[in-house]
Amino acid sequence: GSGKTYRNSLSVCWTTPGCKRVLAIAHGGNWDVTNVPYLSNGAIAAAYASGFDGVKIDVRVTSDNVPVLAHSSPIKFYESLDCVNKRIEQMTAAQVTACHRFPSGTETFQRFDDVLNYLRGKMVAQLTVKESTDYARVIAAVIAAGAEDFAFFEISTNDLRTKIPTISGAQNVWYLINVASNVTEVDELLNTINNPRAFMYEFDPGISLSPTIGPKLTTAGIKAFVYDSNVAASVAGLQGYYNQGFDVVSSQAGNNGVTARQQVNTTRGINPP
């Protein structure tokens, strides 16, 4: 076959209505405070090795128009000691990729295209483009890399309403819409905007999908996504989101994210879990 699986292709389960498999994303990779920095190649590789279905990465664009993996701008001291307080947007790609990711002496900031090449055939990528003015550039980069089938963009309802329609090629990539706690946006997304590329909606922890939101999403074939930022989130706690009706849970509590997914899929009779 084509080798496409739910881990490496959005065409399998992610954008397929009726798929009962639950999925797990590693927020920033499977990182830790002491050895493997957030967003690093090591964290992304660890997420793959431990069985995550996808990884969330942050993207910014350099002064010479190169997308790179970077969370903060200016760079925080806990992200890079050698590049603290520098702005990604005022640096060249060569300068950014020379910055070490704290506390590693070997891990450096990466070009986005290099990371896409690593992820191809392995895992899907949730892209958080930190500046909405960079959407067009990063969408173009995804298309240039042929990564439309495994990289999707996290954007707001307002972005989908106003920015995405103006961007060339934007109809060729997939979107996670972060509703957060503004649940009234669900009806607007389903009935007014109705963009077929918006395949999944994100809700804040604590937002209940029952009794009204869940059935609407199921009827429309839309997946529900939640991110728990707690680095100490328990397996039971992460399982709870799946049992509340969420299809995809993003976490940064190490292997607990995979274990929770495996236990829920096993309970549902889905193999491999």
Backbone angles phi, psi at 198, to 5 degrees: -90, 90
Backbone angles phi, psi at 175, to 5 degrees: -130, 135
CA-closest candidate to residue 35, choices 106, 112, 123, 125: 106
CA angle 15, 230, 51 (to 5 degrees): 45
CA-closest candidate to residue 118, choices 25, 11, 248, 8: 8
The answer to whether the beta carbons of residues 205 and 241 sit under 8 Å apart is yes
Backbone angles phi, psi at 223, to 5 degrees: -85, 155
Contacts of 134 (CB under 8 A, 6+ apart): 59, 60, 61, 67
The answer to whether the beta carbons of residues 237 and 206 sit under 8 Å apart is no
Residue 38: CB atoms within 10 A of its CB come to 20
Give pLDDT, residue 272. Answer: 96
Cα 152 from Cα 72, distance rounded (Å): 20
Residue 190: CB atoms within 10 A of its CB come to 16
Give pLDDT, residue 114. Answer: 99
CA-closest candidate to residue 112, choices 100, 122, 120: 120
Q: Tokens standing for 17?
A: 């209505």
- Cα distances (angstroms) measured from residue 38 to each of 175, 188, 199: 23, 35, 27
- Domain limits of the chain? 23-267
The helix/strand/coil state of 263 is helix
Per-residue pLDDT of the chain (273 residues; tens, 9 = 90+): 469 999 999 999 999 999 999 999 999 999 999 999 999 999 999 999 999 999 999 999 999 999 999 999 999 999 999 999 999 999 999 999 999 999 999 999 999 999 999 999 999 999 999 999 999 999 999 999 999 999 999 999 999 999 999 999 999 999 999 999 999 999 999 999 999 999 999 999 999 999 999 999 999 999 999 999 999 999 999 999 999 999 999 999 999 999 999 999 999 999 999
CATH class of the 23-267 domain in this structure: alpha beta
Q: Is 260 left (phi over 0), alpha (psi -120 to 50) or beta?
A: alpha
